[in-house]
Amino acid sequence: MALVAVHARLAAAASSASPPLRSAASCTRLRALSTVTGTRLSIRHQQRRRWRRPRRAAAIAASLDLNEDNVRLAIDEAKAELGQLFDTSVGITGQVDLAELDGPFVKLRLKGKFWHTRATVLARIGNYLKNRIPEILEVEIEDEKQLDDSPAAF
């Protein structure tokens, strides 16, 4: 009997010209009830359900050849792209530099303080470099001591 009453209320709401605004919780309940009872939701509610936030288009950058200048360029681009890792306005003084390029293996040098752990910074920069320059096989740290996050290390 209660299901019939709910079904009647949903049908009346769907047929009315301007249904009242509902909270997110009641919309979820209505959506669940409408699938159980098989009724259609109002056009306004259907339009609200279909709306999605537009996604930002990712900038597609052309691949670079593997040489020291392009690796340095990609590191500078990574600093701009991954701005949170290198935001100097909050006291981050961390620097990432190219230490050595040995064929498809890149060694980086880390200096200063970072917001994230140094291992995270190395991984994110490494992923960026590998995506930007596909010839890179591995991105390593110059010295394992540079991964030490203790204040005494910098």
41-94 residue pLDDT tens: 555 555 555 555 555 444 556 788 899 999 999 999 988 888 776 666 666 678
Question: Does the residue 17 lie in any domain?
Answer: no
Q: State the CB neighbour count (10 A cutoff) for residue 108.
A: 21
Q: Domain of 96? A: 68-147
Backbone dihedral angles phi then psi of residue 2, each to the nearest 5 degrees: -65, -35
In the structure, what pLDDT confidence band is assigned to residue 151 with cuts at 50, 70 and 90? confident
The answer to whether 109 and 142 are in contact (CB under 8 A) is: yes
Question: Does the residue 128 lie in any domain?
Answer: yes
The total number of structural domains that make up the chain = 1
Please, what is the end-to-end C-alpha distance for the chain in angstroms?
Answer: 73
Q: What percent of the chain has pLDDT over 90?
A: 32
Question: Does the residue 26 lie in any domain?
Answer: no
Q: What is the CA radius of gyration of the chain?
A: 27
DSSP E strands in the chain: the ranges are: 95-102, 105-111, 138-141
Question: Does the residue 39 lie in any domain?
Answer: no
Question: Does the residue 91 lie in any domain?
Answer: yes
**pTM as predicted:** 0.57
What pLDDT shows up at residue 124?
92
Query: In the numeric block, which tokens belong to residue 38?
Result: 């098989």
For residues 2 and 79, the model is more confident at: 79
Task: Give the contacts of 33 (CB within 8 A, at least 6 positions apart).
Answer: 6, 10
- Domain of 119: which CATH number? 3.30.300.130
Question: Does the residue 2 lie in any domain?
Answer: no
Question: Does the residue 47 lie in any domain?
Answer: no
89-119 residue pLDDT tens: 666 678 899 999 999 999 999 988 888 889 9
Question: Does the residue 127 lie in any domain?
Answer: yes
What pLDDT shows up at residue 95?
87
